[in-house]
């Protein structure tokens, strides 16, 4: 199996990734593929994704050699309805192996796209993923192979899954935050030395939908639904719309319990938020920006712009934000006894300067979880930097962050665990046994060991 140098280091830590050709499907894969049948009245949505290298203008007039899906950054937005089957054919036109993870989707383990459940596609190979999409919300896709390079260069895209009874807005858009580290020639810098491993890469060029500081136009008087995704390697975005109030309606796992109005919202790497934006007045100019946030890294917090909103002539509005968006029954009380403690830590390393650990191990092998059994996990951060904790394949509820309950009920797949802080989560594995993982979504921390494998068993 041909692997790049950066992959070998990653693979060396755990020995049970899948072998064989992609077309020699495992029994679990074949079963999952066969069982992916649309719900009544729903359909199969077919998508072709091709990962390749091409030229892209992050800034007008400056060409950068990038990697992406279907020749654009971000890749195409994959849209479907709850209960549809997505059949996604991935073709690898890169010169190194890749595979795709469907971030936040509750797919069978065999379709999760990690190197535990499939052998990554070699150059020029194709592979078809097929699964039902059971939940409405804003999700995204990205490789789970050599991520610090592949995602930095532009391999990611959004997924929007809708229900029949979505709240009504005047318009809707998907907005993906990212950044990229460019050199003087406008080319992507190779991975950096120990500071970049410690902090994760924060690039010098801020992007919204693959462009440096674009302009967004909105009609005065209208209210739009904006679905934000933070696809950056390590940047924390404290979202602000010109420091005006906006209304949060959804997070990682779709709609939240009730609208929540705020002036800022923290998006750690891999987080999503859906907000109602507007109404504004004709002629206004508003900045979409990230406010100062201290995450404990060696960096100076700054307020930084990502885009400019220009408000055009007034149009009528038909938007209605319902007072109750969704009923979310709590899985557990805040005082529930934890069934597991997940300790996020670090240790000094000759190779990286610092290694990142879970329960004192890099690439930790964690205990299995039983289908149907309530999980209450205390995720404890013993390090002086924030870590966004991501659980593959399942949604959890946040019970507490540093002892405080969250502002609203929601389903999440990523939660920021503050420096020296503690987050208590609850979740129940539904009947999708197999190999899963949880890890820090700062890509350099994940690569430097802050991840754990575990099985869901019947």
Q: How far apart are CA 118 and CA 262, in angstroms?
A: 42
Tokens found for residue 233:
């390697």
198 binds Cu ion (CB under 5 A): no
- DSSP 3-state assignment of 149? helix
Binding mask 370-399 for Cu ion (x = CB under 5 A): -----------------x------------
201 binds Cu ion (CB under 5 A): no
Residues 240 to 269 in contact with Cu ion, rule: CB under 5 A: none
Instruction: State the minimum distance, in angstroms, from the CB of residue 439 to Cu ion.
Output: 8
Q: How far apart are CA 9 and CA 283, in angstroms?
A: 54
Residues 283 to 312 in contact with Cu ion, rule: CB under 5 A: none
- DSSP 3-state assignment of 163? coil
Binding mask 15-34 for Cu ion (x = CB under 5 A): --------------------
176 binds Cu ion (CB under 5 A): no
Residue 86 or 443: which CB sits closer to Cu ion? 443
Tokens found for residue 296:
């404990």
Q: Residue 5: beta bridge partners?
A: none
Task: Look at residues 144, 159, 46, 140 and name the one whose alpha carbon lies nearest to residue 99.
Answer: 144
Instruction: State the minimum distance, in angstroms, from the CB of residue 195 to Cu ion.
Output: 14
Asked if residues 443 and 402 have their Cβ atoms less than 8 Å apart, the reply is: no
Q: How far apart are CA 85 and CA 90, in angstroms?
A: 16
Instruction: State the minimum distance, in angstroms, from the CB of residue 446 to Cu ion.
Output: 7
Task: Determine which helix (DSSP H) or strand (DSSP E) holds 378, and give its type and residue range.
Answer: strand 375-381
CA–CA distances in Å: residue 204 to residues 60, 183, 238, 298: 16, 9, 17, 15
Q: Which residue of 442, 447, 448, 451 would you call a contact of Cu ion, by CB under 5 A?
A: 442
Instruction: State the minimum distance, in angstroms, from the CB of residue 345 to Cu ion.
Output: 10
Across 253-282, b (16+ Cβ under 10 Å) vs e yields bbbbebbbeeebbbbbbbbbbbbbbbbbee
101 binds Cu ion (CB under 5 A): no
Tokens 């406010």 belong to residue:
291
Q: Which stretch binds Cu ion (CB under 5 A): 54-62, 114-122, 232-240, 432-440?
A: 432-440
Instruction: State the minimum distance, in angstroms, from the CB of residue 30 to Cu ion.
Output: 36
Q: Which residue of 363, 392, 445, 453 would you call a contact of Cu ion, by CB under 5 A?
A: 445
229 binds Cu ion (CB under 5 A): no
Tokens found for residue 316:
């009528």
Instruction: State the minimum distance, in angstroms, from the CB of residue 445 to Cu ion.
Output: 3
Instruction: State the minimum distance, in angstroms, from the CB of residue 296 to Cu ion.
Output: 10
Residue 410 or 414: which CB sits closer to Cu ion? 414
List of residues contacting Cu ion (CB under 5 A): 387, 440, 442, 445
């Amino acid at each position: 199996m041909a692997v790049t140098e950066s992959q070998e280091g990653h693979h060396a830590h755990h020995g049970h990734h899948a072998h064989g050709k992609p077309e020699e499907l495992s029994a679990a894969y074949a079963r999952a593929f066969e069982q992916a049948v649309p719900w009544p009245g729903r359909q199969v949505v077919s998508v072709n994704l091709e990962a390749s290298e091409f030229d892209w203008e992050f800034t007008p007039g400056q060409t950068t050699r990038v990697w992406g899906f279907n020749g654009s950054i971000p890749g195409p937005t994959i849209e479907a309805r709850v209960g549809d089957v997505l059949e996604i054919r991935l073709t690898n036109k890169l010169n190194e192996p890749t595979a795709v993870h469907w971030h936040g989707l509750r797919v069978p383990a065999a379709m999760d796209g990690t190197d535990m459940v499939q052998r990554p596609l070699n150059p020029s190979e194709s592979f078809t993923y097929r699964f039902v999409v059971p939940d409405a919300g804003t999700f995204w896709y990205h490789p789970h192979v050599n991520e610090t390079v592949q995602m930095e260069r532009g391999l990611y895209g959004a997924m929007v899954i809708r229900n029949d009874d979505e709240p009504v807005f005047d318009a809707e858009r998907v907005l993906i935050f990212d950044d990229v580290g460019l050199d003087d020639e406008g080319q992507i810098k190779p991975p950096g030395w120990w500071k970049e491993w410690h902090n994760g890469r924060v690039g010098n060029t801020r992007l919204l939908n693959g462009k440096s500081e674009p302009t967004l136009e909105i009609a005065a008087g209208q209210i739009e639904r904006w679905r934000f995704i933070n696809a950056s390697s390590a940047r924390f975005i404290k979202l602000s719309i010109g420091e005006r109030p906006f209304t949060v309606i959804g997070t990682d796992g779709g709609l939240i319990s009730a609208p929540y109005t705020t002036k800022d919202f923290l998006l750690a790497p891999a987080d999503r938020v859906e907000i109602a934006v507007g109404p504004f007045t004709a002629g206004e100019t508003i900045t979409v920006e990230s406010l100062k946030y201290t995450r404990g890294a060696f960096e100076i917090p700054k307020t930084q712009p990502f885009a400019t909103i220009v408000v055009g002539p007034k149009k009528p509005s038909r938007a209605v934000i319902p007072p109750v968006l969704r009923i979310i029954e709590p899985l557990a009380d805040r005082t529930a006894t934890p069934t597991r403690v997940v300790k996020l830590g670090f240790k000094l390393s000759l190779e990286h300067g610092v290694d990142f650990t879970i329960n004192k191990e890099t690439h930790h092998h964690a205990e299995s979880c039983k289908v149907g059994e309530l999980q209450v996990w205390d995720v404890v951060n013993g390090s002086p930097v924030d870590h966004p904790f991501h659980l593959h394949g399942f949604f959890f509820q946040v019970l507490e962050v540093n002892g405080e309950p969250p502002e609203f009920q929601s389903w999440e797949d990523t939660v920021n665990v503050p420096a020296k802080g503690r987050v208590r989560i609850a979740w129940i594995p539904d009947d999708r046994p197999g190999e899963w993982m949880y890890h820090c979504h700062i890509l350099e921390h994940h690569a430097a060991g802050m991840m754990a494998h575990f099985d869901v068993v019947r």
